[in-house]
Structure 1
Amino acid sequence: MPRPDQRPPATPEAPAPTSQRQAHAHIPTQAVIASFTHHADVPSACTAEDVVLGVDEAGRPMVYAVCYVPVARKDELRMSGVADSKTLDEEQRDALFDALARTAWAGWAVHACSPHDISEAMLRRTKYNLNALAHDTTVKLIQETMHRGVRVAEIYVDTVGPTDTYQAKLCALFPGVSVTVAKKADSLYPVVSAASICAKVTRDAMLRGWIFAEKGLHTLSREFGSGYPSDPNTTRWLRENMDPIFGFPGLIRFSWSTTANMLEQDATHVEWPIDKDEDDQTEISSFFVKAPPATRSRGGKKNQQIPEVVVHKIQTTRPADRDRFFKEMRAVHCLRL
Structure 2
Amino acid sequence: MVAGETSGDMLAARLLSGLRPQLPDSLMHGIGGKHMAEYGFQSDYPMDKLSVRGLFEVLMHYREISGIRKQLMAQLLDEKPDVFIGVDAPDFNLDLEVQLKRAGIPTMHYISPSIWAWRGGRIKKIAEAVSHMLVIFPFEEEIYRKAGIPATYVGHPLAQVIPMEPDVEAAREELGLEADARVVTILPGSRMSEIKYNTTAFIATAKLLLQRDPHLQFLVPMVGGKQRAYYSELVLAAQLDEVPILLMEGKSHTAIAAADVVLVASGTASLEVALFKKPMVIAYKMMAASWHVLKHMGYQPWIGLPNIIAEDFLVPEFLQSAATPQNMADALWQQLNDVALQKRLKQRFTDMHQDLLRDTAGISAQAVLDLIHHR
Pairwise same-fold verdict (TM > 0.5) = no
Q: TM-score, normalised by structure 2?
A: 0.26
TM-score by length of 1: 0.29
